[in-house]
């Protein structure tokens, strides 16, 4: 298989390097804002046109050059802007969606060559070697994965969101906020089955497994105070957590995985307010307000939240 430089197949340029906190995000905004996240195709918000700048068109590939998961690569399905440290790839010749997905996989496979805050990919990315063309057998591999993911939702009815009719709630009225009392990872015994949650943005925050017994209960939500600040994760099993940069939200109501995923998404919309210098600690979480669907008596509409997640594609795999 002949290998060529990425720059032989793609015109490459830096993204917009915009600051999300300076942009306007309104209900109905159509421009995706791509950050250095490895989740949700890098999309962290939808924004309005900024500084009269046209967004990048759909169909291009974005690649993260920094952050926790270097070289996270996605084919963007809608027009978009980007944050800093993201490159945008324009195919030099016409490519199918399958070919673009294949090259995303090839690019991600080079992640091991770089480290965050160490050897980053900025200067050498354009020289990385990738196959000149996609092998024929990969078409079947990619299609099989796509068909596997295309599971029917649990509910087939379509449910729309109308945030204009939602209500505001104090986080502390819904959750008890606390810090973990667990030991640091270096003081634990490796090789067990208990997940250890840190302030990573990937894999639900789980970075390792230990032999010690879990102390934090399933059905809670973890919040990244530092590290990848502002990420929230619903934890479906009992776990351990770092006492340094993770806070634990214990619900005062009956929660399940569907409600947990809905709330995790709503909470994470506030991520843009925080960074390495403005951490999301207990005090700030106690001042948190979130907007949620409400019932006729102005209480959180848990049934609506549950049904909305069940109506989404892939919900059958939750």
Q: Of the candidates 3, 199, 16, 14, which has an alpha carbon nearest to the alpha carbon of residue 103?
A: 3
Would you say residue 199 lies in a domain?
yes
Under the banding of pLDDT at 50, 70 and 90, the label for residue 90 is very high
Does the pLDDT of residue 74 top 90, yes or no?
A: yes
Would you say residue 264 lies in a domain?
yes
Would you say residue 316 lies in a domain?
no
Would you say residue 308 lies in a domain?
no
pLDDT digit string (tens) for 33-67?
998 887 778 888 888 899 999 999 999 999 998 76
Would you say residue 185 lies in a domain?
yes
Pairwise pLDDT comparison (92 vs 200), residue with the higher score: 92
For residues 83 and 193, membership in a common domain is answered with no
How far is Cα 196 from Cα 152, in angstroms, rounded to an integer? 32
Highest mean pLDDT among 118-132, 138-152, 212-226: 212-226
**Residues, the chain:** 318
For residues 42 and 120, membership in a common domain is answered with yes
pLDDT of residue 1: 75
Q: Which of 145, 176, 208 finishes a domain?
A: 145
For residues 167 and 234, membership in a common domain is answered with yes
Under the banding of pLDDT at 50, 70 and 90, the label for residue 271 is confident
Cβ-Cβ contacts under 8 Å for 115 (sequence gap 6 or more):
70
For residues 130 and 238, membership in a common domain is answered with no
For residues 114 and 193, membership in a common domain is answered with no
For residues 9 and 59, membership in a common domain is answered with yes
Provide the whole-model pTM.
Answer: 0.60
pLDDT of residue 191: 82
Q: Which of 83, 110, 145 finishes a domain?
A: 145
For residues 11 and 123, membership in a common domain is answered with yes
Cβ-Cβ contacts under 8 Å for 277 (sequence gap 6 or more):
none
Does the pLDDT of residue 118 top 60, yes or no?
A: no
Cβ proximity of 302 and 251 under 8 Å: no
Would you say residue 158 lies in a domain?
no
Least reliable range by pLDDT among 7-11, 48-52, 145-149, 255-259: 145-149
The mean per-residue pLDDT over the stretch 148-152 comes to: 59
pLDDT of residue 298: 94
Cβ proximity of 67 and 201 under 8 Å: yes
Highest mean pLDDT among 130-134, 146-150, 201-205: 130-134
CATH number of the domain where residue 77 is located = 3.90.220.20
3-state secondary structure 107-159: HHCCHHHCCCCCCCCCCCHHHCEEECCCCHHHHHHHHHHHHHHCCCCCCCCCC
Would you say residue 282 lies in a domain?
yes
Under the banding of pLDDT at 50, 70 and 90, the label for residue 116 is low
Cβ-Cβ contacts under 8 Å for 30 (sequence gap 6 or more):
46, 78, 79
Q: Of the candidates 88, 101, 201, which has an alpha carbon nearest to the alpha carbon of residue 142?
A: 101
For residues 140 and 194, membership in a common domain is answered with no
State the DSSP string of 194-250.
Answer: EEEE-S-SSGGGEEEEESSPP-B-TTEEEEESSSSTT-EEEE-S-BEE-SSSEEEEE
For residues 59 and 141, membership in a common domain is answered with yes
pLDDT of residue 146: 64
Number of domains in the chain: 2
How far is Cα 209 from Cα 108, in angstroms, rounded to an integer? 24
φ and ψ at 195, to 5 degrees?
Answer: -70, 145
Would you say residue 23 lies in a domain?
yes
Q: Of the candidates 206, 226, 230, 227, which has an alpha carbon nearest to the alpha carbon of residue 218?
A: 206
Residue range(s) defining the domain that contains residue 125: 3-145
For residues 123 and 168, membership in a common domain is answered with no
Under the banding of pLDDT at 50, 70 and 90, the label for residue 117 is low
Under the banding of pLDDT at 50, 70 and 90, the label for residue 305 is very high
Q: Tell me, what DSSP letter sits at residue 278? A: S
For residues 127 and 188, membership in a common domain is answered with no
For residues 139 and 184, membership in a common domain is answered with no
């Amino acid at each position: 298989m002949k290998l060529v430089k990425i720059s032989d197949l793609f015109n490459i340029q830096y993204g917009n390097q915009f600051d999300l906190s300076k942009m306007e995000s309104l209900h109905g905004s159509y421009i995706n804002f791509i950050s250095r996240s490895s989740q949700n195709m890098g999309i962290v918000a939808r924004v309005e046109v900024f500084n009269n700048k046209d967004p990048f068109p759909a169909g291009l590939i974005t690649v993260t050059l920094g952050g926790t998961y270097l070289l996270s690569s996605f084919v963007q399905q809608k027009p978009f802007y980007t944050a800093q440290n993201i490159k945008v790839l324009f195919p030099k010749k016409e490519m199918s969606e399958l070919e673009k997905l294949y090259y995303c996989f090839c690019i991600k496979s080079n992640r091991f060559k770089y480290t965050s805050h160490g050897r980053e990919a900025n200067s050498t990315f354009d020289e990385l070697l990738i196959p000149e063309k996609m092998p024929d057998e990969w078409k079947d591999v990619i299609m099989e994965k796509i068909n596997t993911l295309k599971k029917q939702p649990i509910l087939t009815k379509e449910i729309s969101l109308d945030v204009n009719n939602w209500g505001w709630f104090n986080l502390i009225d819904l959750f008890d906020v606390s810090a973990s009392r667990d030991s640091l990872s270096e003081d634990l015994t490796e090789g067990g089955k208990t997940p250890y949650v840190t302030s990573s943005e990937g894999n639900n925050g789980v970075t390792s497994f230990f032999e010690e017994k879990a102390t934090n209960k399933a059905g809670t939500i973890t919040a990244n105070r530092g590290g990848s600040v502002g990420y929230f994760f619903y934890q479906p099993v009992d776990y351990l957590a770092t006492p340094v940069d993770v806070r634990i939200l214990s619900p005062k109501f009956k929660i399940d995985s569907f409600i947990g995923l809905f709330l995790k998404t709503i909470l994470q919309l506030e991520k843009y307010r925080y960074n390495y210098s403005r951490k999301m600690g207990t005090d700030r979480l106690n001042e948190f307000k979130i907007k949620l669907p409400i019932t006729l008596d102005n209480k959180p509409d848990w049934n609506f939240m549950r049904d909305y997640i069940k109506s989404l594609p892939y919900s059958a795999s939750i």
